[in-house]
Amino acid sequence: MKSYLKTCTALALALGMTGNAFAQVKEIGAGEGEVNIIAWAGYIERGETDKTFDWVTKFEEASGCKVNVKTAATSDEMVALMNEGGFDLVTASGDASLRLIAGKRVQPINVDLIKSWSSVDDRLKNAPWHTVDGVHYGVPYMWGPNVLMYNTEAIKTAPTSWKVVFEEMTLDDGKSNKGRVQAYDGPIHVADAALYLMTHKPDLGIKDPYQLNEDQYKAALDLLRQQRTLVGRYWHDAFIQIDDFKNEGVVASGSWPFQVNILKSDNQPVASVFPEEGVTGWADTTMMHVDSEHPNCSYMWMEHTLSSNLQSDLGVWFGANPSVPAACTDGSGMQTKEGCTANGFDDFDKVHFWTTPTSKCETQGDQCVPYYRWVSDYIGVIGGR
């Protein structure tokens, strides 16, 4: 994680540097034969995991663009890979997207060339994690909550609070939660601690879990150090977390609906909830590298991602919400209105979406702790410091 520190420094210097940015691509030509994408696990499926879920094969046949995918486990890894280069696109969450914009690693998108742009959810079109000074730097892909996943045999009554992963307690099976919970292996997890404190220590005055002054930040780190005594493993690989819930005795953790759905499909005793404190979440955007070698295939792929059948099936597969609302109701894929509701589609305003912390912040008089501190200090927390 130390290698990511320098990627954060540019953010403090450059957010607001966009000014007169213009989209580089003026028209879409013939495809270049391939497109290289950095994506979250489960985001780009070609039927290899489950033959029912395949939104790559037909695209490749129609466009002539072979889709090559590099899976990344954290936002910091995505930023590092984009800094190295050699990729065309990335499905970036909000805690990476602004860093990529500030670091000039991604280029503005000409939304006039995205024929399906009008179908995008109005709540996402101008979202601040991909739109700076009115300039779009990506195409919304998928969004969802970070839910509390738990083992229903160890925790028989659905938990109402994140307390089960932050404070030691005896569970319904008569055993302590110590060593049986997990936490996310990424600095953005500081926000989950801050969100918990918003409810349980309101005197701290936290208004936004990504905007923390020194005292609020210290309280969040103290809570994370307390959590460290409970955590059996810090997770970042979705499939390792799935295995840990199946075979390693893990009983509670923040997670994505993706893991919940896979474990349920395997008849594992798991469930998930939105705790009373609320949830953090992610809204992911397909962004294009400033030096993309395959811009035409990239634009073709971005347009393809907005097809309602892809959005519908991806929503079912990942347990998330489409960036195209019609995908919930038009019957083009597997998703239904009820399915979108279950995934939290109507709870958009209740989700505190990942974003990149900066020193300039509205709620704390521009006296907030910037992200590079989150990175270095979270490394310390995980290391027991």
Give Cα separations from 77 to 58, 222, 293 (angstroms). Answer: 29, 26, 21
CA dist 56 and 67 (Å) reads: 7
Q: Sign of dihedral through CA atoms 322, 328, 332, 335? A: positive
pLDDT of residue 247: 96
Residue reference for tokens 């002054």: 213
CA dist 106 and 109 (Å) reads: 9
pLDDT of residue 27: 92
Q: From the CB of residue 227, how many other CB atoms can be counted at a distance below 10 Å?
A: 23
pLDDT of residue 183: 98
Confirm if 306 and 117 have CB atoms less than 8 A apart.
yes
CA dist 194 and 208 (Å) reads: 8
Confirm if 380 and 374 have CB atoms less than 8 A apart.
no
Specify which residues 351 forms β-bridges with: 279
CA dist 322 and 283 (Å) reads: 10
pLDDT of residue 11: 46
Domains of the chain: 2-144+282-348 (3.40.190.10), 146-280+357-382 (3.40.190.10)
Q: Give pLDDT tens digits along the chain (385 positions).
A: 333 333 343 343 344 444 446 678 899 999 999 999 999 988 999 999 899 999 999 999 999 999 999 999 889 999 999 999 999 999 999 989 999 999 999 999 999 999 999 999 999 999 999 999 999 999 999 999 999 999 999 999 999 999 999 999 999 999 999 999 999 999 999 999 999 999 999 999 999 999 999 999 999 999 999 999 999 999 998 899 999 999 999 999 999 888 998 899 899 999 999 999 999 999 999 999 999 999 999 999 999 999 999 999 999 998 899 999 999 999 999 999 999 998 889 989 889 999 889 999 999 999 999 999 999 999 999 998 8
pLDDT of residue 8: 42
pLDDT of residue 319: 86
Confirm if 275 and 162 have CB atoms less than 8 A apart.
yes
DSSP structure string for 327-380: GGTS-SSS--HHHHHHTTGGGGGGEEE-----S--TTTTT-PPPHHHHHHHHHH
CA dist 289 and 378 (Å) reads: 28
pLDDT of residue 19: 40
**The amino acid at 103:** G
pLDDT of residue 22: 66
Of 213, 161, 167, 219, nearest in space to 194 by CA: 219
CA dist 90 and 107 (Å) reads: 12
- The token duo for 135 is 């300039």
- The token duo for 80 is 């590092």
Q: From the CB of residue 143, how many other CB atoms can be counted at a distance below 10 Å?
A: 27
**The amino acid at 105:** R
3-state secondary structure of 148: strand
